[in-house]
Chains A and B, each alone.
Chain A
Amino acid sequence: MAERQAVIGSRVGLHARPAAIFAEAAAEAPVEVTIALEGEPAEDALDASSILSLMGLGAEYGTTVILRAEGEGAEAALDELAKVLETDHDSE
């Protein structure tokens, strides 16, 4: 099981637009990726490609989240996705 910590970089938090960008990226990953708030048990983690789950997470700017995935390519996929989360998409 690969794991990455990421800090939400979008000023507005994981709201509609940043959540859409991340959900799309997660859906394209070769492995199934989950997301959870830091400190929450792994079995409560949500599907990272679900925009509704991401929005329901209520992750604000600066919140730390944990990404998890298993299988071939998991490490690379998580590196990529953590980068997406840490970018401020609203400054673009």
Chain B
Amino acid sequence: MSTQQVSYHGVGVSAGRVIGPVLRMPDPIAAPSDGAPLPEGSTAQAEIERLTAATQSVAAQLKARAATATGDAQGVLKATALMASDRTLLKSASTLVSGGTCAESAIWEAADAVATQLAALGGYMAERAGDVLDVRARIVAELRGVPAPGIPDSQEPFVLAAVDLAPADTATLDPAKVLALVTSDGGPQSHTAIIARSLGLPAIVAATGTTALRDGMQVFADGISGTVTTNPGAEQEHLAATYANREPLPDFDGHGVLADGHPVPLLANVGGGKDAQAAAAAGAQGVGLLRTEFCFLGRDAEPTHEEQVQAYGAVFEAFAGKKVVVRTLDAGADKPLPFLTDTTEPNPALGVRGYRTDAASPGVLARQLAAIAQAAAEHQAEVWTMAPMISTPAEAGAFAAMVSAAGLPTGGTMIEVPSAAVLAGGILSRCDFVSLGTNDLTQYTMAADRQLGTMAELNDPWQPAVLHLVKATAEGALDAGGKPVGVCGEAAADPALAVVLVGLGVNTLSMNKRALPPVAAVLRTVDLPAAQRLAALALEADSASEARRLVRAELPELDRFGL
């Protein structure tokens, strides 16, 4: 094997440096064509034998995996092993083979019938229909002699390489087995990036060319610089060892503060009651973004008033006496809802989404505000309410009026459309606070789709133009009498960028709870004048990567903590 090093450059979306063998995410199994005939020259008898052998082999693999698993996973694997060798399934597939259908098409059709039957039973059984389809795909993969679908199984920890990961893949990802994630596609806001940050796994996305990585190749994955290097040598081994020996981050003590005592409250982004409890336990000083979609997604109809009151109340309960910023429903674009959004829009990111759905489907927002108000009255949290996708001061004023009509004390707006950042002063003269949603603000400022891996370099919150809009927003807030400005996008979770945001005049930062310790630790190493100086450096940079490099070079503590 060649010892020549090849480096692939992408975007580091979750810090960490590791060396390990690559395993590729296999391609999904394509459906065999309906009722395809027996292979040329084969007999039904031979085909049934081939199918039987494949089912036994899949059952044996699943049984072996069950033997090394524990708890619930073991039970599920045992049951799926039995499904693979199920006599009734094999019998009905064999009947189809006897009628002249090939093994792949026969097992596909036979399993389909079983899955449909289970789905019809509803509830728990309907969920098991997915297991039957997974077993079916494994049997077809075995028949075709290709790797089984899903995250590869291995005794040894590995670097998972993929084009991009879907939410269903990331749900089965075992953080004890996966060392790092590398994708050739996807961007900083892709599912891969979000799951990597929440599991604390190093991740590099949009690393074009990593499709050339093959199973078993040793690579150095660097989630800090965003590179993947094959045939790692002494230099990479040193970097990985330094990272492994990094100083452990102190737990967050619940006080976000700069070195000079300047307070920067650190809040959490949450999506439900359980999440809120975990964030409170992690020391979050409040909730800077409650995504209310959790209550609406996956439903055909609007949730009832009582359901909403209970769902929001579960979050308020975890933060008695503390601030909870509720974002009203943000449907549309990548979060369609059947009762609110039109999925035929040619360009949904620029269509009816967020606050705009109120004009298209009036009533849902007012009912949501009424539910928030009742939940707020039943709990002790300090509830602030804001609307997503506000574009003009007039919209901000109209929303603030709705908030106040619902009997809620504090109404604000998200700043994610560039027009809102430019006119932040006017917006803040009509409402109480703003919160910067840097993910969408970046996509709209740079005209770069946040779901597109090829746009990753533009779609980076370090882009100086985005930082200028953050600055304009903070200045608008000062002009309006010093009203609060928060950041609740992924940018706040990057410790180096957090310093820049504070230097630009942001008052509070809200993030995934896992980001609280690193952000708190790095903020404590700079005073306000230093943060302002670093912000000025970033504003003057000619690209996102230069801004990042200039600022990181001034923050030596990042290395100490391996960030």
B and A form one assembly: yes
Please report A residues at the B interface, Cβ cutoff 8 Å: 12, 15-17, 19-20, 23-24, 46-47, 49-53, 55-56, 58
B82 touches A23 (CB 8 A): yes
B118 touches A56 (CB 8 A): yes
Does B86 touch A at the CB level, under 8 Å? yes
A51 touches B118 (CB 8 A): no
Q: Which secondary structure characterizes the binding site on chain A?
A: helix
| Most chain B CB neighbours (cut-off 10 Å) among A23, A46, A51 | A51
Minimum distance in angstroms from B26 CB to a CB of chain A? 25
Q: Which residues of chain A are within 8 angstroms of B78 by Cβ–Cβ distance?
A: 20
Q: Which residues of chain B are within 8 angstroms of A23 by Cβ–Cβ distance?
A: 82
Name 17 extra pairs, CB < 8 A, besides A15-B128, A19-B79, A23-B82. Answer: A16-B75, A17-B79, A20-B75, A20-B78, A46-B88, A47-B88, A50-B86, A50-B89, A51-B79, A51-B86, A52-B83, A52-B88, A52-B89, A53-B86, A55-B128, A56-B114, A56-B121
**A17 CA to B89 CA, complexed, in Å:** 19
Q: Which residues of chain B are within 8 angstroms of A52 by Cβ–Cβ distance?
A: 83, 86, 88-89, 114, 132
B88 touches A17 (CB 8 A): no
Q: Which residues of chain B are within 8 angstroms of A51 by Cβ–Cβ distance?
A: 79, 82-83, 86
B87 touches A58 (CB 8 A): no
**A85 CA to B121 CA, complexed, in Å:** 20
Q: Which residues of chain B are within 8 angstroms of A53 by Cβ–Cβ distance?
A: 86, 88
Q: Which residues of chain A are within 8 angstroms of B259 by Cβ–Cβ distance?
A: none
Does B125 touch A at the CB level, under 8 Å? yes
Does B117 touch A at the CB level, under 8 Å? yes
Does B550 touch A at the CB level, under 8 Å? no
**A19 CA to B114 CA, complexed, in Å:** 15
Does B199 touch A at the CB level, under 8 Å? no
Q: Which residues of chain B are within 8 angstroms of A20 by Cβ–Cβ distance?
A: 75, 78-79, 82
- Across the interface, B76 reaches (CB within 8 A) one of A16, A19, A24, A58, namely A16
Q: Which residues of chain B are within 8 angstroms of A46 by Cβ–Cβ distance?
A: 88
**A58 CA to B120 CA, complexed, in Å:** 10
**A58 CA to B114 CA, complexed, in Å:** 13
A-B contact pairs, 21 of them (CB 8 A): A15-B124, A15-B128, A16-B75, A16-B79, A16-B128, A17-B79, A19-B79, A20-B75, A20-B78, A20-B82, A24-B82, A46-B88, A50-B87, A51-B83, A52-B86, A52-B89, A53-B86, A53-B88, A55-B118, A55-B125, A56-B117
Range, interface on chain B: 10 to 19
| Most chain A CB neighbours (cut-off 10 Å) among B88, B118, B131 | B88
List of 9 A-B pairs having minimum Cβ-Cβ separation, nearest first: A50-B88, A51-B82, A16-B79, A20-B79, A52-B86, A17-B75, A53-B88, A58-B121, A50-B86
B125 touches A58 (CB 8 A): yes
Q: Which residues of chain A are within 8 angstroms of B117 by Cβ–Cβ distance?
A: 56
Minimum CB distance partner of B92 in chain A: A52
Within 8 A of A (CB), among B79-133: 79, 82-83, 86-89, 114, 117-118, 121, 124-125, 128, 131-132
**A51 CA to B83 CA, complexed, in Å:** 6
Q: Which residues of chain B are within 8 angstroms of A56 by Cβ–Cβ distance?
A: 114, 117-118, 121
**A47 CA to B88 CA, complexed, in Å:** 7
Given contacts A20-B79, A51-B82, A56-B118, contact A15 B125 (CB under 8 A): yes
Q: Which residues of chain A are within 8 angstroms of B83 by Cβ–Cβ distance?
A: 51-52
**A12 CA to B125 CA, complexed, in Å:** 11
**A23 CA to B83 CA, complexed, in Å:** 10
Interface string of B353-375 (1 = CB under 8 A from A): 00000000000000000000000
Minimum distance in angstroms from A65 CB to a CB of chain B? 16
**A54 CA to B88 CA, complexed, in Å:** 10
Minimum CB distance partner of B117 in chain A: A56
Minimum CB distance partner of A16 in chain B: B79
Minimum distance in angstroms from A42 CB to a CB of chain B? 17
Q: Which residues of chain B are within 8 angstroms of A50 by Cβ–Cβ distance?
A: 86-89
Within 8 A of A (CB), among B122-154: 124-125, 128, 131-132
Minimum distance in angstroms from A71 CB to a CB of chain B? 18
Q: Which residues of chain B are within 8 angstroms of A47 by Cβ–Cβ distance?
A: 87-88
Q: Which residues of chain A are within 8 angstroms of B131 by Cβ–Cβ distance?
A: 16
Minimum distance in angstroms from B67 CB to a CB of chain A? 14
Q: Which residues of chain A are within 8 angstroms of B121 by Cβ–Cβ distance?
A: 56, 58
Q: Which residues of chain B are within 8 angstroms of A19 by Cβ–Cβ distance?
A: 79
**A19 CA to B132 CA, complexed, in Å:** 14
Minimum CB distance partner of A57 in chain B: B121
Q: Which residues of chain A are within 8 angstroms of B76 by Cβ–Cβ distance?
A: 16
**A53 CA to B128 CA, complexed, in Å:** 13
Minimum CB distance partner of B89 in chain A: A52
Q: Which residues of chain A are within 8 angstroms of B128 by Cβ–Cβ distance?
A: 15-16, 55
Within 8 A of A (CB), among B356-401: none
**A52 CA to B121 CA, complexed, in Å:** 13
**A12 CA to B72 CA, complexed, in Å:** 15
Q: Which residues of chain B are within 8 angstroms of A55 by Cβ–Cβ distance?
A: 118, 125, 128
Minimum distance in angstroms from A13 CB to a CB of chain B? 8
Q: Which residues of chain B are within 8 angstroms of A15 by Cβ–Cβ distance?
A: 124-125, 128
**A51 CA to B114 CA, complexed, in Å:** 11
Minimum distance in angstroms from B395 CB to a CB of chain A? 50
